[in-house]
Chain A
Amino acid sequence: MATGAMNAWIADFPWRLTQWPKLTMASKAVPVTPGKGTCLLCPADSQLGPLQEYAREVLLDDRRYLLLELPGPAVRGPETKVLHIGGEQPVRLEFEPESTFQWRQGPETVLEPGHAQYDGFIDEALARMQEVEEFTAARCKRSASGHVWWPVLLNDFMGYRDTDEAGRGLIVGIAEKMPLYLRDIVAGPKRVLKRFREPSRLDRIQELDVHCLLDYAQRPGRSASEKAGQKQRLLAVIRRESFDTLENRVTLDFCRRSRQAVRSYKEQNAKFAAFDPEKQTGSKRLAKVLNYGKYCESYLGDSVWDGVSALAEPCRTPNYALAQNPLYVEVWREYLKLLRYANLREAVWRWPRLAWADIVRAFVGDGIRAAMRETGSIRLAKRPLRNGRAIECGTWYREGGCEGDWLVRRDRAALGCLYLIERSEIRRFSATPYLELANADFYICWLPAGTKQAFYLPIWAMVGDLRWKDPAHADRERNEWAHDLENSLRVLQDRLTADVRLAGGAIIRPDWMSGRPGQTRAALKIDDQGPLPIWFIETHACGNWGDQVGIIGEIVEGLVSHAARN
């Protein structure tokens, strides 16, 4: 039941859009969970308020509609529990409390204890995308046209095989870089001379101010020695060095934030052991971070900081020392990263599914590339990477960038063309009505040679919620999703023209809820015998995919053979 004047419908899973026009009307009873990709559909002339820019247009029955993927709860403000969408009479949607996480407000803005795994997933995804951003920026400077290509990213960056089991994160980079700088700062922090008034011995007095003179005049006695009394001391101005400067306050804040980040990292990676030099086992990355945590603890306990006051709020403007001093400038740089990281985490917190879709984009691209290499296919296009300047709606990529297009050949004969298309491109790529109802993040498109038919395999990135911690629940849910997806695809298939066929679907999830990586990464093919096979893949965000990308090759192979059969 609609609560406002605006007509709006809810698709609680992205693929449920295929049910149109039988979607449920938006109401507060509909649970909105950030990891499920719940979407709101409304007429094109609707006013969605601040979320308007995140909506995209879809054509249904030759009419234009706006499709908005609903964000998760905000970390502060009125949208922590309820979402108001629309203009004068907005639709009011309540977040489902059981499936969401609690965000603890504070300088470090972390999740409540107990959600460390999900926290770790966000850290990993963010760290990965930040590394991609840095890699792209460095390569752009070297590129004549100022672009970096997807194959370059996958070859030179994603192709790197990471043997360390512990997750990545901003704190890892800080732990590698900062101990030496902090050591030098603690050894000789910048100080200033501050004036204090203290009773001083007569022979040590150098400076008196008005206050001291008043005190001097009020004392009994005629001479200075009489006024100095028995202890022979008078109130005088003395100068004493102080460490309470902005740069030291920032350094102190940096150490505190680092300590908090190390604690979170430790909690997220509790299942791994730190590197043991004697046994030569364990995670070096974790050991490094833990060591850095110890440094921070010891620095924070140093008496140097005793007189340094804490910052009431994060410092945003550097002073001269923070901007120019070779030691403090490094602290300032990393401090800003930590602050920015907190903002990024808030964005990803609201849009976790779209942030995960960025990782899935690389995962699928890497898999297709590996499969195409094996078959000796011809690359038709080399797409440039299109990073935005800031994270927007949880995503870093601007539209139009996916790993390239291929002419697949076997035995020197062309079999057909294979494309990886993202959601914003699908309408331009295929003018087939209703195809965009699949509302998938990516589509693998196979155009076999010698026929006019086109085969599509949509791929969804999904995150899920805390209930997945229970393996039995996860299994149950996984099967429910798969069957629901299959039903949705059947509905969609009936609407498509005869020359456009669906060849199944795939859901790719992060494995943050599971234990050690490698053990639970799953690639399930559900409903193998049916006409629409559903793939369910679990992987992780850090990019160390190894042979797991071979599953994408299997999907492609399945797509090609499905096309050959049909």
Chain B
Amino acid sequence: MLLGIDANGRSLRWLEPDRGRKGTRYAIAGVPPLFPDEQFIWNNPSAADPTFPDGLIPLEEAWARLSYLEPRGIPRRIPLKWRYRGADAESTLNPAEAIANAIRQNTPIGHAGEMVAVAIPNHLDETGQDDLISAFQALGIFNVRLLWRPIALAMSWASRNPDRAKALVDSGGSLWVMDLESYGLELTELKWRLHSREPNYACPVRSYPRRNDFDPDWASRHWAAKIAGDVCGQSGRSTSLLWGPAGADFQRFLEGERHGPLVFQDKEDPRRWSLGEPVHFQLHQDVVALADAMGRLVPGMQPHDRILVHGWPAAHIGEHLARQLHRRIDVAGKYAVAEGAALYAQRDVKTRPTYYDTLPQYAIWVSRRDKNNQLNFLWKALNDESVVDAGEKWVLSSRTEPDLIRLREDTLRLPQYVDKFSLLVQNKTVYDADTLNNHEASVILAKRLVVDLPTMTTAQTPLRLEMVLRPASGHARFSISARDDQPLFLDRYSVDLSWKTAQDEPEHKGYLEAREVVGRIMDRPGNRELARLLARRVRGEIFGPEVMHRFQILMDEYRPGHIDVDAVPVTSLLARVLTPWGHVANPAMTQPTRGLWGSRRQFNDPELDEIAEDMGEALLHMGGGGDWYKWLNQMFVYTPRAFIDQLRDELSPGQGTGHIHTWNLIIAPGRVFDNPDDFQNFIRFSLECGFTGPDNTYTQHYWWSFFRCLCYHKATAKVAPELVYQYLEVLCEFIEQHDLPPNTFNDQRRKYALHALLFALRLRDNDKNLEFMPLNDPLVSKYNHLFDAGRLSDERFPPSMLAGMGNMVQPGDNFSKYVRRFLNFEDTLADREMGAGLATS
């Protein structure tokens, strides 16, 4: 059995072509369950409690949430919020699940064995498609195909008007499908072409939708709401008429059918209902404005183009619109979308051609050296925008497109300047359209997949790329693997980016993300053995010759350069193992500095926890004055709880600074405090002592510790924004009052002041909807003034940040300019990628 379903708008229609059956359910709305163990009722709005205002969730609203386009054109899925009436609890509903449930409860979809085609809005993005398919599968319905609504309308239209479709093929004209039943007015231009596999079949060609094809202000729902308002009058609640017990009758009234009484709810007392009088309504006064909107949306309509209008208002405005546009328009029938979807299912089952779709262009973020050995970053297009057969999986790989892929892969090298591997893929078609429309800051630049890697690459590894796309199926996957079939990292052979799960990367952020450092203990098993032996050594154990030999080998493997482990004191061993090394120790190395332990906690690794406990115990009892703080803080998040408690006590506000006798105590919080409460206390303590306790030389350490807390640990950004703001104010005053020289070995205040400013901007990434240091903030101006006055300028990039990738820096650039770009929201993607190098230990 085949089934075509049109579930958008206020009417849910289905059509079963084999048996000639069809059905309509009007004004579908979900009745929230009383208790958590019950399900939504989607097939009977009158099941709702009529005394409960707004107790229903309209199906139309679920579509709107799923395919919601913000005014700036960004797709976003907003969950539906509702509350149980019987149980005192609130919950959210995934719009895709709501739609799937509504369709299941109102159509014979559960009995459709062969194929079901469900019409979806033309602007529903890949994630929305994927959500919808997953929701159907969760209900046990696997034979679902999605079809664009304009395509369904066009296929239905072409089956009824084959000559007109052929005429469009001959003339090269377009069919403009104007769908009023979608969330907003969708105006889609469809070119027509004879299909290569069936020369007599004229099929529509869907171009990738641009955001400006859509106008949320014009849709049948707005007219329905307006008329409902007229019926209800001043004292009535129009939503109760639209979606209440008389919702179906009201829709019949709108569509000119026989209808029952129109009852609506009182605005003040939801328990009282009244009878509404049907009003005579006219929509033609809106036609001039609508025609203007259409003219704005589609400036390039040709004389031989045709217009197809769908939606119940079409019957009221059709003639006026035709007159206004000076051309004839076709009005689609009520079942046109369901009919088109059923046609699609019929053809698809027989593997006959249906329509042509357009693949968007995707681009990947790669680095490339120019002739001056300068490293540049650029978006490299992966494919061209192309027309493909609908519904087919489209694979781009060296097997399917050897020439194309060879050209693309030439530029693909694994970036080696960070120990975090980011795969960034851009939908170039959408991005270009968005930037053309001046959407500015809210435009999504790309999808980012961050892979936490335990080891770094040391060479430029040639990579292989594969991408698999299928239009209208939510399917977009990108995979990167080493070209020589070797594992990329340890046992990981490929990095796969799914369009659904990867995170959105906005065009500009104005801050750097926290980057957790993976300790070297995760690099290879030998390092764990080394850590165990080192802990024993710290406890004073004397090894026999065999163990000592093994210890020597492990030490030599761990870090280049030989030392005699038997001859040197334990502190030298600790300095060699725990202390970060890399570029600092050996400038020729291309790796950033890392020690044995890192700020990333590995969960479900009992062996690691046991080693950490063992070493922590050993270090706690080692003694040794200032070194005690030094070794323990270098255990990062694995440091013993007793050490954290002691730090908390010693660095609490009100403690004073008399007891501080080593700067290792001040830098310890930077590595160790990974929660907002501790960090907050440390900020208060720093502010209390004015960055100077016990003496002025400690200032840089306070700043180092402050920025490291924000750099290493993700949770620290949840600190109170006003406190960080105050910190930056005090910092600004300090810089104004003190002359900070350029970075020297003994005085690194300017360098760390810049770091503190840079990472404090992380609070811009908060979910409280508060703007932290927006561009018009007086503090931003003050810092800009400090840059202008030369108090923070001309600081060079930290060598460990670039880690041997000096050619990444553009000529004339420096760290001061780099930080200033973030301050003023002028940072680029390349800047943010470079920032990953700052996450050294």
- Residue numbers of A with Cβ under 8 A of B are 144-147, 149, 378-384, 386, 398-400, 404-405, 407, 409, 412-414, 416-417, 419, 428-429, 445, 447, 449, 452, 454
Contacts and interface: CB of A to CB of B under 8 A. Distances in A.
A381 B275 CA distance: 15
Contact of B271 (A144, A378, A383, A417): A417
A28 to B, nearest CB: 37
A429 B49 CA distance: 10
B272 A449 contact: yes
Contacts of B86: 398-400
Contacts of A404: 46
A379 B47 CA distance: 11
Interface in B253-269: 260-261, 263, 269
A417 B43 contact: no
Interface string B35-52: 100011111101111110
A144 B261 CA distance: 26
Nearest to A451: B272
Q: Find the residue from B39, B43, B49, B274 having the highest chain A CB count within 10 A.
A: B49
B22 interface: no
Contacts of B34: 386, 398-400
B651 to A, nearest CB: 44
A381 B47 contact: yes
A384 B245 contact: no
B261 A382 contact: no
A146 B260 CA distance: 27
Contacts of B374: none
Given A145-B41, A400-B86, A407-B263, A380 B50 contact: yes
Contacts of B85: 400, 428
B576 interface: no
A449 B47 contact: no
A384 B41 contact: yes
B165 to A, nearest CB: 37
B46 A419 contact: no
A413 B274 CA distance: 9
Q: When A and B form their complex, which 3 residue pairs have the shortest distance between CB atoms, in order from nearest?
A: A144-B105, A380-B50, A382-B46
Contacts of A449: 272, 274
A378 B43 contact: no
18 contacts: A145-B40, A145-B42, A146-B39, A147-B44, A380-B245, A380-B273, A382-B47, A386-B34, A398-B34, A405-B51, A407-B263, A409-B275, A414-B273, A414-B275, A417-B271, A417-B272, A429-B271, A445-B271
A479 B104 CA distance: 56
Contacts of A429: 51, 271
A381 B245 contact: yes
Contact of A384 (B47, B104, B263, B274): B47
B275 A407 contact: yes
A177 to B, nearest CB: 33
Contact of B245 (A144, A379, A452): A379
A32 B140 CA distance: 54
A519 to B, nearest CB: 40
Given A144-B104, A144-B105, A383 B47 contact: yes
A380 B46 contact: yes
Interface of B: 34-35, 39-44, 46-51, 85-86, 104-106, 245, 260-261, 263, 269, 271-275
A379 B46 contact: yes
Contacts of A454: 271
A493 to B, nearest CB: 20
B272 A378 contact: no
B105 A419 contact: no
Contacts of A447: 269, 271-272
A275 B104 CA distance: 50
Contacts of B271: 417, 419, 429, 445, 447, 454
Q: Find the residue from B43, B44, B260 having the highest chain A CB count within 10 A.
A: B44
A141 to B, nearest CB: 12
A147 B46 contact: no
A419 B272 contact: no
Given A417-B271, A447-B272, A144 B47 contact: no
Q: Find the residue from A380, A398, A416, A449 having the highest chain B CB count within 10 A.
A: A380
A542 B263 CA distance: 36
A144 B43 contact: yes
A378 B51 contact: no
Q: Find the residue from A144, A382, A404, A414 having the highest chain B CB count within 10 A.
A: A144
Nearest to A144: B105
B56 to A, nearest CB: 11
A485 B686 CA distance: 74
Contact of A145 (B39, B269, B274): B39
A37 to B, nearest CB: 24
B50 A381 contact: yes
Contact of B263 (A378, A412, A419, A445): A378
Contacts of A412: 275
A147 B263 contact: no
Given A399-B34, A400-B86, A407-B273, 14 more contacts: A144-B106, A145-B39, A145-B40, A147-B41, A378-B263, A378-B275, A381-B245, A400-B85, A405-B51, A407-B274, A414-B274, A419-B271, A429-B271, A447-B271
A329 B49 CA distance: 44
A147 to B, nearest CB: 6
Contacts of A378: 245, 260-261, 263, 275
B263 A405 contact: no
Nearest to A414: B275
Contacts of A380: 46, 50, 245, 263, 273
Contact of B49 (A145, A149, A381, A386): A381
Nearest to B41: A145
B815 to A, nearest CB: 63
Contacts of B263: 378, 380, 407
B48 A381 contact: yes
B35 to A, nearest CB: 8
Contacts of B269: 447, 452
B44 A382 contact: yes
Given A400-B86, A429-B51, A149 B44 contact: yes
A419 B272 CA distance: 10
Nearest to A452: B269
B479 to A, nearest CB: 41
A150 to B, nearest CB: 10
Contacts of A382: 44, 46-47
A272 B105 CA distance: 48
A267 B41 CA distance: 46
Nearest to A383: B47
B48 to A, nearest CB: 7
Nearest to B245: A380
A414 B42 CA distance: 28
A147 B245 CA distance: 17
Contact of A147 (B47, B49, B106, B260): B47
A382 B274 CA distance: 18
A381 B39 contact: no
B612 to A, nearest CB: 47
Contacts of B44: 145, 147, 149, 382
A408 to B, nearest CB: 10
Contacts of A417: 271-273
A419 B273 CA distance: 12
A25 B725 CA distance: 62
A380 B105 CA distance: 21
A412 B261 CA distance: 10
A471 B50 CA distance: 44
A429 B269 CA distance: 11
Contacts of B35: 398
Q: Find the residue from B41, B43, B261 having the highest chain A CB count within 10 A.
A: B41
A407 B48 CA distance: 15
Contacts of B42: 145
Given A380-B245, A381-B245, A384-B41, A149 B47 contact: yes
A407 B273 CA distance: 7
